[in-house]
Amino acid sequence: MSKRSSDMFNVLWLQSGGCGGCSMSLLCADTTDFHGQLRDAGINLLWHPSLSLESGDELQDLLARVLDGRVRVDALCIEGALLRGPNGTGRFHVMAGTGVPMIDWVRRLAGVARHVVAVGSCAAWGGITAGASNPTDACGLQYEDDRPGGLLGAEFRSRSGLPVINIAGCPTHPGWVIESLMALAADSLAEQDLDSLARPRFYADHLVHHGCTRNEFYEFKASAEKPSDRGCMMEHMGCKGTQVHADCNTRLWNGEGSCTRGGYACIACTEPGFQEPGHAFDRTPKVAGIPIGLPTDMPKAWFVALASLSKSATPKRVKINATADHLVMTPAVRKTRLR
Amino acid sequence: MARLLVGPFNRVEGDLEVSLDIRAGTVKRAQVNATMYRGFEQILQGKLPHDALVYVPRICGICSVSQSVASAKALADLAGITVPDNGLHVTNLMQATENLADHLTHFYLFFMPDFTRPVYASRTWHAEAVRRFAPHTGEQMREAIASRQRWFTLLGTLGGKWPHTQSIDPGGSSRAVEQAERIRLLSKLREFRRFLERHLFATPLEEMAALSSLDALWAWHDAALNVGDFRLFLSCARDLELHQLGAGPGLYLSFGAYSQPGGAHALASGVWRASEQTLVEPDTLAITEDAAHAWLEDAPMPLHPLQGMTLPNADKPGAYTWNKAPRLAGEVVETGAIARQLASGHPLVRDAVAKHGGCVLTRVIARVLELAIVVPMMERWLKALEPGDPYFTACELPDEGVGMGLGEAARGALGHWLVVKNGRIANYQIVAPTSWNFSPRDAGGTPGALEKALEGAPVLPGEKSPVSVQHIVRSFDPCMVCTVH
């Protein structure tokens, strides 16, 4: 299948106040032919910082042609936060070779792009770059943490009529990006496919908790007490998987991974403001011994009652294994036929 | 004298601009500008020390594990913790996975595409370079991305995900590897070995690693011209005389990579002085950072990282970059695979540097060679894991103290220094590999390693982004997001 380039879905990818990790993650997309996969979906990478030949004046020339309408941008992908400082000048990131702050480039390019896509939590909400006192006055394209606004403003709509699409995550999962771009290229991503924070629902309608390999420990509230323990990390280790929107434990990362499978807590990296949780990342804040961040869609009293009941019924096997780094007690071998 | 402002550079990590003064078709003076500031050192002030392990990997998406390891080491140093052998091996496996992926990415995605440029259309190797390395279509480039994707599945198992793995802790690894997983990981290592032996080298890794001189390397090259991608690089390099391009400062720094049980490193630490062929241990107390030409508040004199400060001042006169100028006892050093192999005494790299110095050719040789050297090491570390033995030592971080974490990212020496007071981070300073290599001038006006390496680079008539400058810049495999953090 070969399409003329004018029929292709043109993606322009730029980076600002981030680490480049979303691009590096993108290259881990689960395919034997990264470029072939995009091309087959009709996607043309007009320019990407890690993948294109054009450097310096060649890119500047391309950007000029985009701005005067000679080259169409179907998706403007921005990776990294937008750095408004110091004092609104944007000088914390001037696009190399141009003397122009990146925030100005992004404002101009967003005005001509059919879709605008925030790749990763930095571009979506400000992310880790907006940590602590936010020394660079970093924000997302259309959000500042969970407050609408950001660089482009709450009212911004790209030429397609959609708001900025927030493929949040730190980093974002390559599958989330590829599928979002493919859906856009196929004209099959509409406003109702975005959640209330403009994240694509195909991944944001799930919870990290779904598919967690520690679920048996969760059921019995058999908890990990230190890194490398196998137990549930919700009670003591700061895990937010029961509240956080993402399909990390059903889609998996890098073949067979996820944060919880790696032995550390979900820190809510797809959610606005994750960079300043208000407590130690690896410790669950508690009131009177009860964790404060319980699952949001059940009454707290019920949760506490069920937890105390399941704790009292925890099988010895589950209890012992919860605080070990390898299987100490294996499930008993039993006949499972009724006859 | 003509002035040329080159940027943005792509196929480097982060944003980079180079300002060139050109006379008679040659670069006379270069100024290297890192154009973005994010402020991690400010963000980390006042944080709980252990929380640094969430922030610091996010300095960099291409070497996040290296940042994690340096931070975990600094915290372990603060607390006086020793990591159990299993934890050490898993950490090394993760860091090696990342480092080798970086070398692979650099070679196939960042460096080789420059040989496909139209300016080289008349060269005998050009059509072959285009077939293999052209962005978006190059056959070998696409094979390499596929191989890289499979390779990173090692980190899915070892650390949950990449980048921004959080399984690395001062006490070891939060992920214990099971017996069956060890077997699966070994088969993935072999898969990567097969890629390297079939595509990159077309030669067994052990044979590559055993090449002991430049003559031996060229004999290997001539025996099977352009068979394998590294041989094609060597053909381009010989034709374009890349050994004459991008001379470094001649002083090389390695902090030592892959800590082994007992305290040694799999790749040695050391400062190699090429002019005298001498190796000494790095004196970390002699490390200072000079902010004279950075958009950062100056101290009266260059400071050691434990006293260092990083406070932006965008209006500072005479400043041209967000990067400070690290110096070792006042001297400019180069760091990277070339420094690691010199410190480890690899005969091929020592011979190549003795003949040509640090240059575009020798930097690439050292990096590619490391792929052949480290994969067999990883096979040994994986076999050394003892399922059932601990991967982690529980520990309390003290409320007061200092810590230093040194290691080697793909691009070279990486150091973290932290000061803890009242249970909070009172200071945290990071000196990254590209901070060394791409440092600006210091207060004495001495240019950094790249600034010096660009002097003398040829500029062809009409060039706005001189191709020689691109080769030199990318030969360092720069990471600008780490540099400015």
| Each residue's pLDDT tens digit, B99-146 | 999 999 999 999 999 999 999 999 999 999 999 999 999 999 999 999
B310 touching A (Cβ < 8 Å) = no
Q: Give the pLDDT of residue A7.
A: 87
B61 has a chain A CB within 8 A of its CB: yes
CB A84 within 8 A of CB A46: no
- Does ipTM top 0.90? yes
* pLDDT classification of A2: cutoffs 50, 70, 90: very low
pLDDT for position A335: 87
Q: Which residue of A has its CA nearest to B322?
A: A92
Tokens of A63: 């950007």
Tokens 């595409």 correspond to B113
- Crossing angle of the two packed helices B360-384 and B347-356, in degrees rounded to 10: 170
Nearest to B174 by CA among B155, B188, B185, B160: B160
- Among A16, A24, A97, beta carbon nearest to B17: A97
Q: Decide if A91 touches B, using CB distance below 8 A.
A: yes
> Would you place residue B200 in the very low, low, confident or very high pLDDT band (cuts 50, 70, 90)?
very high
pLDDT-based confidence at residue A1 (cuts at 50, 70, 90) = very low
CA distances from B230 to A76, A309, B239 (A): 36, 63, 14
CB-CB under 8 Å, A49 with B175: no
Distance in angstroms (rounded) separating the CA atoms of residues B224 and B238:
15
Nearest-CA distance from A304 to chain B in Å?
A: 28
The verdict on B401 touching A (C-beta cutoff 8 Å) is no
Chain A residues lying within 8 Å of B114, measured CB to CB = 53
Asked, as a colleague might, if the bond just before B326 is cis with ω within 30 of 0, I would say no
Residue with tokens 């490391």: B370
> Following DSSP, what letter does each residue of A226-291 receive, concatenated?
STT--SBSTTTS---TTT-B--HHHH-BTTTB-TTTTTS----TTSTTTT--SS-TTS--EETTEE
**Spatial contact of A75 and A11, defined as CB atoms under 8 Å apart:** yes
Average pLDDT in chain B: 97
For chain A, the average pLDDT equals: 96
Q: State how far the Cα of B392 lies from the Cα of B87, in Å rounded to an integer.
A: 6
pLDDT in tens, B203-241: 999 999 999 999 999 999 999 999 999 999 999 999 999
Sign of the CA dihedral with B226 first, then B229, B235, and B240 last = positive
Q: How many CB pairs under 8 A join A and B?
A: 263
CB contact B165 to A (< 8 Å): yes
**In this complex, do B392 and A261 lie within 8 Å of one another by their Cβ atoms?**
no
Q: Does A171 touch chain B (CB under 8 A)?
A: yes
Of A97, A129, A257, the CB nearest to B6: A97
CB proximity B54 to A under 8 Å? yes
The chain A residue lying nearest B19, using CA atoms, is A97
Backbone angles phi, psi at A139, to 5 degrees: -150, 175
Cβ atoms of A247 and A280 within 8 Å: the answer is: no
Q: What average pLDDT does this structure show over B73-82?
A: 97
The pLDDT tens digits for B333-356 are: 999 999 999 999 999 999 999 999
pLDDT digits (tens, 9 = 90+) for A194-250: 999 999 999 999 999 999 999 999 999 999 999 999 999 999 999 999 999 999 999
Spatial distance between the Cα atoms of B461 and B456, rounded to a whole number of angstroms:
15
User: With an 8 Å Cβ cutoff, is A239 touching chain B?
Assistant: no
> Which residue from B157, B152, B183, B205 is spatially nearest to B383, judged by alpha carbons?
B183
Dist. CA A11–CA B472, nearest whole Å: 29
Cβ distance of A262 and B166 shorter than 8 Å = yes
Contact A255 B394 (CB under 8 A): no
The answer to whether residue A6 scores a pLDDT higher than 80 is no
